Amino acid sequence: MVTSAHEGMHRIFQERPEILAPVFGLLGVPLSAKATVDAVTTDVTEVRPLERRVDTVLRVGPSDGEDFLLAIESQSGKDEKKASSWSYYIAYLQAKYRLPVLLLVVCQDRATAKWATGPFDCGTRGWTAQRTYPLVAGPDNLPVITDARTAAKNYALAVLSVLAHARSAECEAILNAITAALQEIRKTDPDTADYFFDFLEISLGDTPAGQKLREIMSFVSYFPGRGTVRETAYLEGKAEGKAEGKAEGKAEGKAEDRALLILRVLEKHGIPVAEETRQRITSCTDLDTLALWFDRSLTATAAEDLFAACPGAPGTGPGQA
């Protein structure tokens, strides 16, 4: 099943394209930092009964050469079916846009990263008709950034480092570095700091790395904002109210963050959201319903797909007024 961590591993390339140049450098593929980057539709379906969707597709315009397409996949484990899917993505995108295509696979563990490097062959009787060589970014080639000054040089790369090494022993040190760097930049650029804090919170979720992030942030004493765990941790440390009131405030903050993430995913997939639908999503306070809607938003083709035969119908489901 597609998870928040899966979504975060490829979505950061859509929203923070400045990460492309350093990641390509780590992979040994030169790319100018001045390259232009534009999102392309992720739908590679030719016949509607069989839906195929790449996680992320970007059109990259280098300053020193021809444009190319970059298909990005987040892979959490081995999946033999991906060998044919990835070959199809590359061939289809090249035929449709008449541009060269590269495939980048982002992994969180070494075994998956080693498998994803391929090559993946299509052929028979000693003849190879097609061979796919993905670029792979994972724990072995993404840097372990444990210094706040290094993290401050490229926040997006530091955040990707957290995601890639979330299961490693170095994760706590990486989290300490990125949170320290973001706390410092928040004094001059709160929007950037808030974006990355929220991105980490949502992408790491309830994993051990996510729990460690919450522990670190519980010591931060200044985070006015949107009711995320950062603000909740601060308010809980100061408040003298009942534990029930604290839990309610924390749940409301999580619900708000999940609702905003659902809307962001729909936006990135080019799906229009009517005001009535937006209100329905943002007014929901039931975390299970929001989790279901988020999972459906990853493959939805229309905003209404979120609500089909699920709890949360107006006046009947949890979280509705």
pLDDT digit string (tens) for 182-236? 888 888 888 888 888 888 888 887 788 888 888 887 654 344 444 455 445 444 5
* Residue partners of 133: CB distance under 8 A and separation at least 6: 117, 118, 119
Range of weakest confidence among 106-120, 151-165, 195-209:
195-209
Whole-number pLDDT of residue 111: 92
Q: Rounded to an integer, what distance in angstroms lies between the CA atom of residue 148 and that of residue 160? A: 15
Q: Is residue 189 part of a domain?
A: yes
The residue among 104, 137, 170 that closes a domain is: 137
If one counts every other C-beta atom within 10 angstroms of the C-beta of residue 196, the result is 24
* Confidence band of 50 (pLDDT split at 50, 70, 90): very low
Residues forming a β-bridge with 69: 59, 101
Q: In terms of pLDDT, which residue wins out, 79 or 40?
A: 79
Best CA proximity match to 180, nearest among 219, 141, 142: 219
Q: Is residue 320 part of a domain?
A: no
Same domain, 123 and 22: yes
Whole-number pLDDT of residue 7: 58
For the segment 69-111, what is each residue's pLDDT rounded down to a tens digit?
998 888 888 988 888 889 999 999 999 899 999 999 988 889 9
Q: In terms of pLDDT, which residue wins out, 313 or 118?
A: 118
Q: Is residue 263 part of a domain?
A: yes
The 3-state DSSP class for residue 167 equals coil
Backbone angles phi, psi at 122, to 5 degrees: -125, 115
Beta strands 127-132 and 120-124 are: antiparallel
- For 142, counting Cβ atoms within 10 Å of its Cβ (0-12 exposed, 13-18 middle, 19+ buried), the class is buried
Sort residue 114 into left (φ over 0), alpha (ψ -120 to 50) or beta: alpha
Q: Is residue 233 part of a domain?
A: yes
Same domain, 230 and 251: no
Rounded to two decimals, what is the model's pTM? 0.60
What's the one-letter identity of residue 193?
A
If one counts every other C-beta atom within 10 angstroms of the C-beta of residue 99, the result is 14
Q: Is residue 286 part of a domain?
A: yes
Please report how the helices 243-268 and 275-283 are oriented relative to each other, as an axis angle in degrees rounded to 10.
150
Q: Rounded to an integer, what distance in angstroms lies between the CA atom of residue 102 and that of residue 99? A: 10
Same domain, 116 and 167: no
**Strand ranges in the chain using DSSP code E only, listed in sequence order:** 36-40, 56-61, 68-75, 101-107, 120-124, 127-132, 135-137
Whole-number pLDDT of residue 41: 57
Same domain, 82 and 190: no
Cα Rg of the chain (Å, integer): 21
Q: Which domain holds residue 174?
A: 148-238
Same domain, 153 and 111: no
Cα–Cα distance list, 142 to 16, 145, 149, 318 (Å):
16, 9, 17, 42
Q: Is residue 312 part of a domain?
A: no
Q: What percent of the chain has pLDDT above 70?
A: 77
Same domain, 155 and 108: no
Q: Is residue 319 part of a domain?
A: no
Average pLDDT over all residues of the chain: 78
Q: Is residue 157 part of a domain?
A: yes
Maximum C-alpha span of the chain: 74
Best CA proximity match to 68, nearest among 40, 99, 96, 98: 99
What's the one-letter identity of residue 185?
I
